[in-house]
Amino acid sequence: MPQHPKTEIILAIETSCDDTCVGIVEKGHKIHANVLSSQNEIHTQFGGIIPELAARSHLEKIGVILEIALQKACMSLSDIHAFAVTHRPGLASSLLVGVSFAKALSYATRLPILGINHIEGHLFACHLEKPDLPFPHLCLMVSGGHTFLVIVEKRNQYRMIGQTTDDAAGEAFDKVARHLGLGFPGGPIIEKMAAENRETPVFFPKAMLYSGDFNFSFSGLKTAVKYYVESLSKEEAEKQKKAIAAGFQKALVDVLVEKTIQAAQKYSISTITLSGGVAANRFLRSRLSEEAQKRDIGFYYPSIILCTDNAAMIAGLAYYKYQEGEQSDLSLALEENSQFMKSRQNTKNPF
Ligand code: KG4
Ligand code: ZN
């Protein structure tokens, strides 16, 4: 399919996990619409995402979300120059809905389509609101599926310097919330409980703080919380919920902040960014901001709506990729590929 002579207004679809998202962005930063429908109500009773239910819900909602996005943008499909869609990594059945829908749109309108990596989209989220973000910068990427530190040397050039050896930070939030009987997703609930805590936070060990590298491990912390909760009576666990949430959040955030600052200093990088769902955590944002400020390091983080899954970040990134001549076609396939980052450690472009 030939490139539209002007690929400036991009409509993107994002269905990699449990949020059905459509975004319309002009020239990589002007957000005309960023609509999402969350499935939290469906999955909360299971304490985690059920892939079949996620895919079915995407299928039911994607057409309506597209309509709402076009209405919000005061546009019709004839105003769109090109499409973008998250095609990896994610839940295969969820990705399939978005990719098929975007391909159908591309086929029907004869407009180009481009597959985008979800993680690279998260890394781009800061640029949406700050297109002049300086390079190189160090990004702490913390989501439900990934946790890593990457140096963004320039657009399209990434250098991984550390990552979790087991659970992602968001996964730890979700699992600890489950041990505490708090619902799903765990991050926002734990953040709220911790903010309400008026007792001394329960102490939990900070894993790999002095490991000498920039890797993380959160599985031990999650298990420590589980054992602690199991050691208490039901009444006592209920009474201590907020102090446990605060202690867990502090242990996890302290490690993220400490290692990010150490990495910025080691690699002499003067700008830090934060991305991914856990970047919505206000305690993490303020702790990293404080520590960066003390050392005269610039610190940027996206608005909360751009931290968690959204399609504006996909549309924004796609604009730059179209400018560089990238384009997919109707053979675009999804890639579940959850081990993607692990297998590409330390390569120049892990995407
Ligand atoms: O980026 P995201 O929306 O989806 C993935 O790509 O994984 O991240 C979802 C993760 C979930 O684990 C959720 O609990 C966590 O982000 N999260 C938070 C907060 N909001 C979402 N974690 C801590 N504090 C929050 N406020
Ligand atoms: Zn995500």
Question: Which of these ranges, 119-128, 187-196, 260-269, 342-351, has the smallest mean pLDDT?
Answer: 342-351
Q: Is the CB of 28 under 6 A from ligand 1?
A: no
How far CA 200 is from CA of 91, 110, 196, 284, 286, in Å, comes to: 39, 61, 12, 19, 20
Taking the C-alpha atoms of 49, 203, 142 and 305 in order, what is their torsion angle to the nearest 10 degrees?
A: 70
Model confidence at 347, in pLDDT bands (50, 70, 90)? very low
Would you say the CB of residue 17 lies under 6 angstroms from ligand 1? yes
Q: What does DSSP assign to residue 164? A: B
Q: Tell me the CA–centroid distance for residue 48 and ligand 1, in Å.
A: 12
Listed by start position, the domains of the chain span: 9-123+306-342, 132-303
Residue 148's beta-bridge partner residues? Answer: 141, 163
| Residue ID of nearest Cα to ligand 1 atom 2 | 277
CA distance 307 to 163: 19
Q: Is the pLDDT of residue 50 over 50?
A: yes
Atom 16 of ligand 1 has which residue's CA nearest to it? Answer: 277
115 phi-psi bin (left φ>0, alpha ψ -120 to 50, beta other): beta
Mean pLDDT, residues 211-217 taken together: 93
Q: Does ligand 1 come within 6 angstroms of the Cβ of 187?
A: yes
| The CATH number of the domain covering residues in 9-123+306-342 | 3.30.420.40
Q: What is the reported pLDDT for 41?
A: 83
20 lines ligand 1 (CB under 6 A): no
Percent of the chain with pLDDT over 70: 95
Q: Which atom of ligand 1 is nearest to the CA of 19?
A: 3
Summarize pLDDT for 52-111 with one digit per residue, the tens: 999 999 999 999 999 999 999 999 999 999 999 999 999 999 999 999 999 999 999 999
pLDDT at 351: 56
The CA distance from 167 to 181, in Å, is 19
- Cβ of 280 closer than 6 Å to ligand 1, yes or no, is yes
pTM, 2 dp: 0.93
Say yes or no to pLDDT of 350 above 70. no
Q: Is 15 in the pocket of ligand 1 (CB under 6 A)?
A: no
The ligand whose atoms approach the alpha carbon of 301 most closely is 1
Q: Which ligand is nearest to the CA of 168?
A: 1
pLDDT for 341 beyond 50? no
Residue nearest to atom 5 of ligand 1 (CA): 144
- Residue 4: predicted pLDDT: 65
Q: Is 50 helix (H, G, I), strand (E, B) or coil?
A: coil
Q: Which of 33, 2, 25, 1 is nearest to 319 (CA)?
A: 25
Q: Which of 143, 193, 286 to mutate to test the pocket of ligand 1 (most atoms within 8 A of CB)?
A: 143
Looking from the CA of residue 308, the nearest atom of ligand 1 is 3
Whether 1 and 16 have beta carbons less than 8 Å apart is answered as: no
Residue 249 pLDDT exceeds 70: yes
Q: For atom 22 of ligand 1, which residue has the closest CA? A: 187
On the question of a common fold for 9-123+306-342 and 132-303, the answer reads yes
With the most atoms of ligand 1 within 8 angstroms of its CB, the residue from 173, 176, 190, 304 to mutate is: 173
Of ligand 1's listed atoms, the one at least distance from the Cα of 307 is 1
Strands 147-154 and 157-163: antiparallel
Mean pLDDT of all residues in 208-229: 94
To the nearest whole number, what is the mean pLDDT of the chain? 93
Average pLDDT over residues 143-169: 94
Architecture of the domain made up of 132-303: 2-Layer Sandwich (3.30)
Note the pLDDT of residue 344: 37
Read off φ and ψ for residue 251, nearest 5 degrees: -60, -45
pLDDT mean over 120-139: 96
